[in-house]
A and B are shown apart, each in its own frame.
With several copies, the nearest count.
Chain A
């Protein structure tokens, strides 16, 4: 049977089900295939903080949203065009946020009376009028999966577990995507347990065939490949890209890589990734807590390694004191904060940008530090690399802010080879030099030299007490303290001389400048882009360098009538800008719900400001 095809620019699919339903895997496998087809993609996994939240409840729903297409994919999308709902709770959790005429694929086997009640519906949403505006595809997915696997002799539970692949097969059919890559994945992954591998493959194929058989929707869709720069791509999450960026930086700096870290959601995957790569020399130390994580990194930096520590909000709080030590001793370490919802334990699995103040100012004493942030899953690679470069070439600790949204999100990464990347030149001194003093500085950067133990004649001592501006010996001299406070500040400020100018998009737009930072780049870009296409006077500038700001920042701000700072917090970057460039007036658009922006809510706000006189 042939199916008529609709060719679409882009589509948003959301896989939703119980925590145990394997939605994250289904979503990831779909992403991998669609990425390989050359689509632009952006993903957004969203799951509860319990390991297996109570079955069948809305609180237990785990979701994976993917936006893919040939163009216009700047974010995982505001709302799905296609919702996969493995049970009533998954339906309930997403009902308030569906595109009109959304396709909803449900497993009717899981719509028993009890399930429906557990999800908080009073009636069966499939039979009352709840879904009348949508196209619903009902499939007895659980029973069909079991039937399909009947011959494999699996226990009930194992068979049941394959229903996500049955579903995925149906979705692949919907979007005319091939099964090969997913099949390979299972062959590879279950080499040692081929029955399970086969079961998944069989379920996948059965789902595909079932969709084909019932002609699940009148039309099925095709998405043409995106017009991307030529090159070789792979799909990558932000946390993986971060890990790889550090590995690349270590290679390009010619020093061993050390990570001292303590597990915390959503940062742990960076450690998981790095620890796989001992073959590349990565030294990964799982410390007893976050303080030991950063302190071991400081020790490793003192001993000449490229030292990293990774964490999230509460762990960052614990590292506060030790960051001060790194500032005082002017050792090059990179501190990664994959931000999550706060305060306190907050919303550990949700995204937020509310640790900016903590990064910039959250320490005792005058303790300036370089702060930079990544803006897409894939560019976490570049910003990890850049953070390391700044740390090593300016002898300063650097904070790299990413977000849960970036760390867990995925997009295609145009693969870099080592030869594409610039050399990093750490300020090491590798042999005796009679002129050297521990706190003597180079003139341009005000950085001191990096002298690791082992070199005859260069023995020296550093520490957290204020130090003499030349010898580094302990000094309680008041003037010297004043000098050192200024030097530490100026050293960080001068990083601005070694970074590119800030750019903005929207040449002739004088009316409104949208300012963003961090992981909301794609969404902000998308929203501004839409309005620019409508011919609105709107421009967009996105910051990755937070402290110091690029030198031309004021110049850009001066060009616009209104400046609107959009961020997932109550206005932290806006406040930082007020303190740093007080000559401008900043409007704010904020959201603190543990969720990314929606393009629609941004456009509303932009239009509002554009219409104001």
Chain B
């Protein structure tokens, strides 16, 4: 139960509920909730206008810790529940919180359909490449060969690439961020809320207990300048300790070049356009892998397209305005009827 909200702006901590946060000490989920609270505060979201829907998993305990409306549903189904929430009340700011198991194993179908429909929901995917809550089995994002409780001899499956799957399902917004960069996370989450349609934020999240340091090569302080390319719309794709490395297009392939070497200048470097309809370059950016490439971070794709809940509602409004039927009584009495008199 909550005290009535006041008119003034909310501080990040105002979005915290009275429930004790129960993630393991050191879990990457803490950073994510911080970023979300910061973003909500910057967006000045009214708590009562927010509905946070999650599935089952460590990550999915998230709604309990937020002083908004929240629903901790069942494993794999938050996208379907969130779809119902949004269609029932399009005024709400609907957030879906989910794990790599929740959204990509059992929930894969609802996930790709929510993406395809481009319903206006913000989906934060906590990708720790493991099933945390069930104590450490491999997930559909675990790298091939990974040794876990359910793969004592290493997995023999190729993982999904979240971004590629999203784009393959006609996704219009995809961002990737490490849990170590709260600032970037906050920005990206703000962008996600602003985007109309399904906004997918993949967070590379660390599970200290069952998959510690999976993302370390990318996120480590020592490596991050060289191993992350932080994309900004309209900015050249530069990275590296001295910000002098960049991405260049060579035919149908990307390559890493260094400004000042071999006559390369900034004008050779690609400028990021998140808003272009074509997903060809977005896909290429998503596919960049260590060690040849840095990992692309930030908002990779952010395009406008028809928004499902908007059109769904508009069709109803349109019928309400144009139909000859105005009441159920009209309907019941339409067509062939017959009357029996006493």
Contacts and interface: CB of A to CB of B under 8 A. Distances in A.
B134 interface: yes
Contacts of B61: 50
Given A286-B138, A302-B71, 10 more contacts: A247-B331, A248-B328, A263-B150, A279-B322, A288-B106, A295-B77, A299-B81, A416-B332, A418-B329, A454-B92
A142 B312 CA distance: 47
B70 A457 contact: no
A97 interface: no
Nearest to B92: A453
A217 interface: no
Nearest to B210: A51
A275 B332 contact: no
Contact size class for B?
35 or more
Interface string A274-311: 01111111111111111110011111111111010000
B2 A460 contact: yes
A299 B69 contact: no
Interface in A297-346: 297-305, 307, 314, 321-322, 324-325, 329, 344-345
B221 interface: no
Interface stretch (B261-269, B270-278, B333-341): B333-341
Given A52-B24, A456-B4, A459-B67, A280 B89 contact: no
- In the A-B complex, the 10 residue pairs with the smallest Cβ-Cβ separation, listed nearest first, are A299-B84, A463-B72, A279-B323, A296-B84, A295-B80, A453-B69, A461-B70, A457-B4, A303-B88, A300-B88
Contacts of A271: 150
Contacts of B2: 457-460
Interface of A: 32, 35-38, 49-55, 57, 59-60, 181, 225, 228-235, 244, 247-248, 251, 256, 258, 260, 262-265, 268, 271-272, 275-292, 295-305, 307, 314, 321-322, 324-325, 329, 344-345, 412, 415-418, 432, 436-438, 452-465, 471, 473-474
7 contacts: A289-B105, A291-B110, A416-B332, A453-B49, A461-B70, A463-B63, A463-B70
Contacts of B83: 285, 287, 292, 295-296, 299
Interface of B: 1-5, 17, 19-25, 46-51, 53, 56, 58, 61, 63-64, 66-77, 79-89, 91-92, 105-106, 108-110, 113, 131-135, 137-138, 140, 149-153, 209, 312, 315-316, 318-320, 322-323, 325-329, 331-333, 335-342
A298 B338 contact: no
Contacts of A284: 150
Contacts of B329: 417-418
Nearest to B109: A288
A314 B74 contact: yes
Contacts of B68: 453, 459
A454 B92 CA distance: 7
A456 B319 CA distance: 32
Nearest to B316: A278
Contacts of A268: 134-135, 137, 149-150
Contact of B149 (A60, A272, A304): A272
- Residue from B17, B68, B81, B209 having most chain A Cβ neighbours under 10 A: B81
Contacts of B135: 51, 265, 268
A300 B73 contact: no
B84 A298 contact: yes
B88 A457 contact: no
Contacts of B340: 38, 225, 228-233
B332 A471 contact: no
B72 A465 contact: yes
B229 to A, nearest CB: 31
B342 A51 contact: no
Contacts of B131: 263
A280 B328 contact: yes
A278 B320 contact: yes
Nearest to B308: A285
Given A272-B150, A285-B84, A314 B323 contact: no
A458 B48 contact: yes
Given A228-B340, A234-B332, A459-B47, A345 B109 contact: no
A314 B73 CA distance: 12
Contacts of A297: 84
A418 B73 contact: no
Given A272-B150, A303-B84, A307-B88, A456 B5 contact: yes
A36 B336 contact: yes
- Residue from B50, B75, B82, B319 having most chain A Cβ neighbours under 10 A: B75
A454 B1 CA distance: 14
A416 B92 CA distance: 36
Nearest to B72: A463
A321 B338 contact: no
